[in-house]
Amino acid sequence: MVAAWGLALAWGCGEPGGLGPDAGGKGSSADSGMSGLDVDDIVIQPGVDTGPTVGRDGGSTPSGVLIWAHTDNALFRGDPSTQPLQLTRVGSFDCIGDGGTSSSMTDLAVNMNGQLFGVSAAAVYPLEIRGSSVHCAETWRLQSSGRFYGMTFAPAGVLGPEEMLVGANSAGELWAIDAQGSATQVGTFGQVPADDGHGHVYANAGKDWELSGDIVFLSNDGDPVGFATLRDCPNPPSTTGCNRVDTLVEIDVTKLALGNTASVTKSVRGQVVKGAGCNDPSTATGYGSTYGIAAWNDKVFGFSRKSGDGYLIEIDNQDGTACLVQRYPDDAFAGAGVSTLAPVQGPN
């Protein structure tokens, strides 16, 4: 039985140990080589405030929801009620890098109360914002032999009466993670179809989907909605030769179940290609390495990386088309998250 992640978590599991080999490119300072973005095609947009933000709970918005993103070692936040979305640097993770227990944070998740949880290759960390530092309040060692590159919370009522932390890996598997770090599989992303329904053909049809970057689940007033950014590859879970353009899929959150090894993908929304109505200066035709996503109304905000830079894109959850919002020089994104209570307009 998987124990749920309660609102006041108090289980300590000591220091993280070494895990299995890296199954993908996420969570490394090295460029993954998987991005469809061409850095020469992007024009730097106006900068944003990168000063530290003081406050333990991370602040609030009119809706009470913030969008969070992070690099390997630093946290950012943005107010999705203000468009275009812009990010402010909060601070560095004190358990990552110099003196830390891991070299990079691979993703984060946000529960219904806005509490932040980070995950590295070895452990899960409840996070607290302390001035210009993001404190890893505790360390819960992962018992899995693999790495989780995407993480979110399953809303209450899906895997139990309380919210449950769910991680995903590049093998296309989803796992419920309990407060002791144990993992139980709750689904897969299934297999790659012949095309995305919008004229984009997949070279690796019939292969298992790989997680490119992230998953996000939203409670949606009892009718949960979920999304993931995936990629098709010739020899999953190997990341060699994968499609440089990601695909946005919708997840049937209600199909998540302890011990489930079947697909929970509801529909392929579309390859993440540049939309016809974009006003940004990018000449890129597609976007990849979307290592972080966060949903808000009818949009999915994607956070990617290439050659040491970060890219914030806005993805239409109907067809996967996207527009560049802003480039963040020297801030290569590794993950993102949003509360399960964020408003969402599910695709038709």
Amino acid identity of residue 328, one-letter, is Y
Instruction: Please enumerate in sequence order all residues whose Cβ is within 8 A of that of 238, keeping only pairs 6 or more positions apart, or say none.
Output: none
d(CA 21, CA 228): 23
Using alpha carbons, select from 346, 331, 337, 276 the residue that is nearest to residue 45: 331
The answer to whether residue 289 sits within a structural domain is yes
The answer to whether residue 32 sits within a structural domain is no
Q: What is the mean pLDDT of each run of 10 residues along the chain (348 residues)?
A: 39 26 42 36 28 34 77 95 92 81 89 93 90 91 77 96 93 90 93 97 97 95 97 93 96 98 98 91 86 95 91 96 94 96 93
Using alpha carbons, select from 122, 318, 343 the residue that is nearest to residue 221: 343
Amino acid identity of residue 180, one-letter, is Q
d(CA 88, CA 290): 19
User: Which CATH number does the domain housing residue 105 bear?
Assistant: 2.120.10
- State pTM to two decimals: 0.84
d(CA 58, CA 66): 8
d(CA 136, CA 159): 26
CB 163 within 8 A of CB 112: yes
The answer to whether residue 19 sits within a structural domain is no
Q: What local confidence, expressed as pLDDT, does residue 247 receive?
A: 98
Domain that holds residue 244: 39-338
CA distances (Å), 75 to each of 22, 128, 250, in order? 23, 11, 26
The answer to whether residue 44 sits within a structural domain is yes
CA distances (Å), 135 to each of 8, 127, 151, 288, in order? 16, 6, 19, 30
Q: What local confidence, expressed as pLDDT, does residue 43 receive?
A: 30
d(CA 319, CA 304): 19
Overall domain count for the chain: 1
Give 274's strand partners.
322
Give 271's strand partners.
247
The answer to whether residue 25 sits within a structural domain is no
Instruction: Please enumerate in sequence order all residues whose Cβ is within 8 A of that of 129, keeping only pairs 6 or more positions apart, or say none.
Output: 53, 55, 56, 57, 58, 75, 90, 91, 116, 135
The answer to whether residue 33 sits within a structural domain is no
Q: What local confidence, expressed as pLDDT, does residue 104 receive?
A: 92
CB 301 within 8 A of CB 294: yes
The answer to whether residue 150 sits within a structural domain is yes
- C-beta neighbour count of 195 within 10 angstroms: 14
Dihedrals phi, psi of 43, to nearest 5 degrees? -100, 130
The answer to whether residue 31 sits within a structural domain is no
d(CA 309, CA 150): 20
